[in-house]
Chains A and B, each alone.
Chain A
Amino acid sequence: MIARSLKWSRHNLFAKPFDVLLSLTVIPGVLWLIWQIAGWALTVAQWDIIPQSLRVLMIGIFPVDQAWRTWVAAMIIAALLGAALGCVFAFRGRHAGGLLLVVAVALVLTGTKGLANILCVAALVALFGLSWALISRVPAARRGLVPASFVGLIAIFAVMAPPGAGLWGGLLLSILLTLVTAVVTLPIGILLAFGRRSRFSSVRWICTAYIEVMRSVPLIMVVYWIWILMPVLTPQLNLADVVRGMIGFTLFYSAYVAEYVRSGLQAVPRGQTEAARSLGMSEFDINRSIVLPQALRVVVPPLVGNVLDIFNTAPLVFIIGLTDFLRAGQMILANPQYGDRTYEVYSFLFLTYFLVGSLITFVARKLEKHLARGSR
């Protein structure tokens, strides 16, 4: 064991003089940093601010007496995410154990007060697990997934809308924005990608121009433009800031999804289309049943990566006055009473973003392997 680790360190840390130098400076440096951080986190930091302001971090300034609406929204989201996971990973018994562990950890970490909240967290995780199991065990249920996700999103809007869309905020807003963008950009991106290959040059030209324009401007620009344009274009609609933000994100990311899908379409051999044509199939049927499924298979991993991109750029909605997760943290710090807790709050934000980000990356990796195995 010791011999092994000595050998390992000789190969990886001390192979060349430069490695030795690097190892001797970096390793102590990192150790010192960890020591400092751990020391701060365990002795100096006052973590009580996190449970105290957890509600604001999660749902922003959504009224307390209406909080059940956000729980319903969270449950719909949990069910949708579970279903999405079920499409690619089979649900096993040990996963159920893992989910129980998640509930336990969540309860310990957040010190959730009151029986109602505990039950809600448990229900959330149970729903996630159930829809995961259902979709992975009953493949026929997958057909309903796309319509179900649209219905789910509409239901979320319906249940969250009454107190006023201006009150949406916190992590819930970040996740909602990501989810809506991810789901709506997919069909739009697919249409744009096919449009870019259309035999009608006008369609081709419009789609190409749209994609190229969106890809050559910053996201924040598009979001801001949509925000100021919507009231002018549709004055009678009076769309809420949240909705305008989602439209901006969707318009922007559709172009990126279109490019991913296009790379997938190009990866499908010409022979596939020719064989389907020679069987007399219509171009619509060929694209829908032969070309698209094979193209999407190739681009699922980058598309999952794209979802992470959306989530990580969501804080930009502060420009149109929305209070996403990051902004909610800053809002708490704006309270003079909490002014000295900057590091605690930002540590929590960092860890949460890191956790969600690595989860999505992990899923993307697994997917890549999973699909590579399946296509042999």
Chain B
Amino acid sequence: MSTIVEMKTLNKFYGSHHVLKNIDLSVARGEVVVVIGASGSGKSTLIRCVNGLEMYQNGSLLVDGYPMPVEEDRLLGGESELAAIRKGVGMVFQQFNLFPHKTVVENITIAPMRVHRKSKAEAEATALRLLDRVGLKAHAHKYPGQLSGGQQQRVAIARSLAMEPHLMLFDEPTSALDPEMIGEVLDVMRELAADGMTMMIVTHEMGFAREVADRIVYIDQGAILEIGKPDAFFDNPQNERARAFLARVLKH
């Protein structure tokens, strides 16, 4: 199985603050990798590097066959790979980030029309199919402000899927949701995993992580301390800090 993401000794700084430390991680096509760790440990930064929302300073990062340029090259204008990478990588955010001035359908069709030059009719047909898949076809012509959080997040997933991504990134997709809405979003993600989508997920939903993940990555203070199969990791973590972290979060 080919790899879709390959990080080698990747380092990221905010000024003098060393946020990602010598990250080595590769993700195979079709694999579901769940990243867990305490708040502030660098989980968001890690997955945001994959689609270039954050820049890294040294090391190497290969995404979907393209080398992601380091910060220095990007500031000098070397960003041609970036556009290619982003076309193949979708992302779902904690705050949904739907476009409030566009209807649900417009949210989903704008990128395929602008980036892939699809016709309006074709893009809308795809959008409706995807909305059906996430159970929101009836809301196609509403504005995001008229939907619940769970519905908005499902629209956000559909919006990403419309670009036919090879890899989906999820940054705490259920953390901003009321508890009763978490399930509907996780269900959509489960289906995606079952369909063979490659995913990198940051989440605090440990039950869900154990269920869908092929591998768990535990990160602490910017360094990966443990990578393992879910059962092995949750039942018998090797790293001391991972054990303490699990004890803390599983108690609740």
A278 within 8 A of B: yes
Per the 8 Å Cβ criterion, residues 274-329 of A in contact with B are 274-282, 285, 289-290, 293-294, 297
Complex interface: chain A residues within 8 A of B101 (CB): 293-294, 297
A271 within 8 A of B: yes
Contact A274 B87 (CB under 8 A): no
Contact B86 A278 (CB under 8 A): yes
Report A342 CB to chain B, min CB distance, Å. Answer: 52
Q: Which of B95, B97, B114, B159 has a CB less than 8 Å from the CB of A285? A: B114
Scoring B residues 98 to 124 as 1 if CB is less than 8 Å from chain A, else 0, what string do you get? 111100000000110011000000000
Per the 8 Å Cβ criterion, residues 121-176 of B in contact with A are 145, 156, 159-160, 163, 169
Kindly state the separation between the CA atoms of A19 and B114 in the bound complex, as whole angstroms: 64
Complex interface: chain B residues within 8 A of A290 (CB): 99
Report A36 CB to chain B, min CB distance, Å. Answer: 53
| 6 intermolecular pairs with C-beta atoms under 8 Å apart | A277-B53, A279-B163, A281-B114, A281-B115, A282-B83, A297-B101
Q: Which of B86, B98, B114 has a CB less than 8 Å from the CB of A277? A: B86
B7 within 8 A of A: no
Complex interface: chain B residues within 8 A of A272 (CB): 97, 99
- A interface residue numbers (CB < 8 A to B): 269, 271-272, 274-282, 285, 289-290, 293-294, 297, 375-376
Kindly state the separation between the CA atoms of A272 and B110 in the bound complex, as whole angstroms: 13
Select the residue from A272, A280, A290, A294 with max chain B CB neighbours within 10 A.
A280
Q: Which of A275, A285, A294, A297 has a CB less than 8 Å from the CB of B93? A: A275
Contact B87 A280 (CB under 8 A): yes
B90 within 8 A of A: yes
Kindly state the separation between the CA atoms of A294 and B145 in the bound complex, as whole angstroms: 14
Chain B: CB-nearest residue to A274: B53
Complex interface: chain A residues within 8 A of B53 (CB): 274, 277-278
Complex interface: chain A residues within 8 A of B145 (CB): 375-376
Kindly state the separation between the CA atoms of A285 and B115 in the bound complex, as whole angstroms: 9
Kindly state the separation between the CA atoms of A297 and B83 in the bound complex, as whole angstroms: 29
Report B104 CB to chain A, min CB distance, Å. Answer: 14
Contact B100 A279 (CB under 8 A): no
Contact A281 B93 (CB under 8 A): no
Kindly state the separation between the CA atoms of A279 and B93 in the bound complex, as whole angstroms: 12
**B contact face: mostly helix, strand, loop, or mixed:** mixed
B91 within 8 A of A: yes
Complex interface: chain A residues within 8 A of B23 (CB): none
Kindly state the separation between the CA atoms of A276 and B100 in the bound complex, as whole angstroms: 13
Kindly state the separation between the CA atoms of A282 and B86 in the bound complex, as whole angstroms: 10
> Count of chain B residues with Cβ under 8 Å from any Cβ of A?
26
Given A271-B93, A274-B93, A279:B115 Cβ within 8 A? yes
Report A306 CB to chain B, min CB distance, Å. Answer: 22
Contact B97 A271 (CB under 8 A): yes
Complex interface: chain B residues within 8 A of A275 (CB): 91, 93, 97-99, 156
Kindly state the separation between the CA atoms of A277 and B86 in the bound complex, as whole angstroms: 7
B89 within 8 A of A: yes
Kindly state the separation between the CA atoms of A289 and B109 in the bound complex, as whole angstroms: 13
Report A30 CB to chain B, min CB distance, Å. Answer: 46
Beyond the given A278-B53, A278-B90, please list 12 additional residue pairs across the A-B interface where CB-CB is below 8 A. A271-B93, A275-B91, A278-B89, A278-B91, A278-B169, A279-B110, A279-B159, A280-B163, A293-B101, A294-B99, A294-B100, A297-B101
Given A271-B95, A282-B83, A375:B114 Cβ within 8 A? no
Contact B100 A280 (CB under 8 A): no
Contact B111 A280 (CB under 8 A): yes
B203 within 8 A of A: no
Kindly state the separation between the CA atoms of A308 and B94 in the bound complex, as whole angstroms: 42
Report B69 CB to chain A, min CB distance, Å. Answer: 15
Kindly state the separation between the CA atoms of A145 and B146 in the bound complex, as whole angstroms: 29
Contact A375 B83 (CB under 8 A): no
Chain A: CB-nearest residue to B106: A289
Complex interface: chain A residues within 8 A of B169 (CB): 278
Contact B86 A279 (CB under 8 A): yes
Contact B100 A375 (CB under 8 A): yes
Complex interface: chain A residues within 8 A of B93 (CB): 271, 274-275
Contact A280 B97 (CB under 8 A): no
Kindly state the separation between the CA atoms of A339 and B93 in the bound complex, as whole angstroms: 73
Report A348 CB to chain B, min CB distance, Å. Answer: 44
Complex interface: chain B residues within 8 A of A376 (CB): 145
Report B72 CB to chain A, min CB distance, Å. Answer: 14
Kindly state the separation between the CA atoms of A17 and B52 in the bound complex, as whole angstroms: 68
Report A277 CB to chain B, min CB distance, Å. Answer: 6
Report B100 CB to chain A, min CB distance, Å. Answer: 7
Report A370 CB to chain B, min CB distance, Å. Answer: 14
Report B130 CB to chain A, min CB distance, Å. Answer: 14
Complex interface: chain A residues within 8 A of B156 (CB): 275
B198 within 8 A of A: no
Complex interface: chain A residues within 8 A of B45 (CB): none
Report B106 CB to chain A, min CB distance, Å. Answer: 10
Contact A289 B90 (CB under 8 A): no
Chain A: CB-nearest residue to B87: A280
B11 within 8 A of A: no
Complex interface: chain B residues within 8 A of A281 (CB): 110-111, 114-115
